[in-house]
Amino acid sequence: MDTLYANARIAGTDKPQDLLVEEGRFTRIGEGLARELPAQGYDMTGIETVDLNGKLVCPPFCDTHLHLDYVFTARKPGAANESGTLFEGIQRWSDTKADLTVDEVKTRARKAVAMELRHGVQYIRSHADVTDPNLTSLKALLELREELKDVVTIQIVSFPQEGMYSYRGPHGETGAELVEEGLRMGADCVGGIPHYEACREFGERSMHTVVDLAVKYGRLIDVHCDETDDPNSRFVELLAALAHAEGIGEMTTASHTCSLGSADNSYFFHLTKLLKAARINFACAPTENLYLQGRQDTFPKRRGITRVKELTDNGINVSLGQDSMQDPWYPLGNGNMMIILDYVLHLAQMMSFAELDDALKFPTVNGATTMHLGDGYGIAEGRPANFIVLDATTPFEAVYERADVVRSVRAGCTLFTAETTVDTDLPIMRG
């Protein structure tokens, strides 16, 4: 369906804009098109007009860090995380993951995707735990990536939750071998978890393996990196240096990096030079890490998140992730990126008016940078007509009100409007 979306507010423009969408792409964007096009004799037959009443249009949200294979497992017998730590979460998942099946993972993940979609997300980077000799999570998410590609772009990380060198499968397979198998099967990104390896040397070796595999298979990198309050966990520097040496810094993401929240300033000052040169991305999961970190602290208690403000001020890309939805790590999480954004602005103390006016970049363009979406993303003529409408008229108001997403459009097709739930004809609701 070709559509003229009239009266859209787009950040950075003073006057309402009209967006013409034909064959799934933006073909014209400008002021007053609803008047001008017919006056210019443009053939408007078959073009429906939708009045957006001055509401804010922005590119879809990107959830750059989610574990779709873990969602809604928090209430499984044996999954309860009593200490609330990351490491007990990993243990509980390990203890309870033997009974996964492809169908059951897909059913849970499909529900999570529907929730994310309803909050305006159209791009998700999901980890798939490959420390499992059957690779059940990965098989399920590969199928789902294909089945749902018309409504959501899913990138999959071949992620060794139990370590590349700490994990041994029943036939002696290492986590590293399983990560590589995951790449051969079609995962988009190489994962790692150096802070979980048995010793620093294994963690360092895993960073070499991650970068080697990314080069060998031509994939992106997304490492769970330094997800600990321990300021001596400094794998991010090795990851950045190795990726930079291979010229793939921009294809690399360090997720979590909580230890930077505990590192001293002189170390961070030195590291910043490398990060700026390497141009790696950071993905922050503020709600989970606020909950999981600081658990060995009494008071003062650390906040757990990486240095979002300082990285941003140095021109280093930071994007956001929901990370968990009711899993052994975190009992909440509903895919609402406006909540995630709200937390990060508080935790990182980013509330100058300039920062607030610019804050929507975190779940949008910064996410697209992390995911390397390139020209496939953004509100511009010639690009796919993927966008959301927020119940606000300015970026500040959207952040201030934690605005609802009232419409989501993908390749010119409406996924939902405020009056509807996710369209039941979408493939996501079947199967």
Contact segment (CB under 5 A) with Fe ion among 36-44, 316-324, 392-400, 401-409 equals: 316-324
Structure tokens at 312: 């941003």
* Residue 221 or 389 with smaller CB distance to Fe ion: 221
Whether the CB-CB separation of 390 and 398 falls below 8 Å is answered with yes
Helices (H), 186-303: 200-217, 235-245, 265-278, 286-292
Out of ligand 17E, Fe ion, none, what residue 329 binds, judged by CB under 5 to 8 A for its kind, is ligand 17E
Stretch that binds Fe ion, among 139-147, 157-165, 315-323, 352-360 (CB under 5 A): 315-323
Q: What DSSP state is assigned to residue 17?
A: E
Q: Tell me the closest approach of the beta carbon of residue 330 to ligand 17E, in angstroms.
A: 6
Looking at beta carbons only, is 117 or 193 nearer to ligand 17E? 193
What's the angle, vertex CA 129, arms to CA 369 and CA 84, rounded to 5?
A: 90
- Among ligand 17E, Fe ion, none, residue 317 binds (CB under 5-8 Å by kind): none
Catalytic residue among 197, 227, 237, 288: 227
Judged by beta carbon, residue 52 or residue 311, the one nearer Fe ion is 311
* 283 contacts: CB under 8 Å, gap ≥ 6: 64, 65, 125, 222, 253, 254, 255, 256, 318, 319, 320, 321, 370
For residue 409, give the H/E element and its range: strand 405-410
Q: Which stretch binds Fe ion (CB under 5 A): 2-10, 139-147, 205-213, 317-325?
A: 317-325
Residue 327, strand partner residues: 330
Q: How many CA atoms lie within 13 A of 352 on its CB side?
A: 5
Structure tokens at 224: 């769970």
Buried b (16+ CB within 10 A) or exposed e, 247-266: ebbbbbbbbbbbbbbbbeee
Shortest approach of Fe ion to residue 256 CB, angstroms?
6
Is 107 in contact with 147 (CB distance < 8 Å)? Answer: no
- The token pair at 334 is 């509903």
Of 69 and 323, which CB lies nearer to Fe ion in the complex structure? 323
Least distance from ligand 17E to the Cβ atom of residue 261, Å? 14
Residues that bind ligand 17E (CB under 6 A): 67, 86, 90, 161, 193, 224, 227, 288, 323-324, 329
Nearest distance from residue 14's CB to ligand 17E, in Å?
42
Question: Which CB, 18 or 69, lies closer to Fe ion?
Answer: 69
| Min separation Cβ 329 and ligand 17E, Å | 4
Whether 77 contacts 287, CB under 8 Å? no
DSSP structural state of residue 349: T
Smallest distance from Fe ion to CB 69, Å: 11
Name which of 128 and 311 has its Cβ closer to Fe ion: 128
Residue with tokens 């939805």, as numbered in its chain: 325
Question: 22 catalytic, yes or no?
Answer: no
227 binds, among Fe ion, ligand 17E, none (CB under 5 to 8 A by kind): ligand 17E
Q: How many residues touch Fe ion (CB under 5 A)?
A: 1
Residue 240 contact partner, candidates Fe ion, ligand 17E, none, CB within 5 to 8 A by sort of partner: none
Which of positions 320-379 make contact with Fe ion (CB under 5 A)? 323
Q: What is the Cα 64 distance to its own chain's centre?
A: 1
Residue with the two structure tokens 């979609």: 117
Residues taking part in catalysis: 227
Residues contributing to the site for Fe ion (CB under 5 A): 323
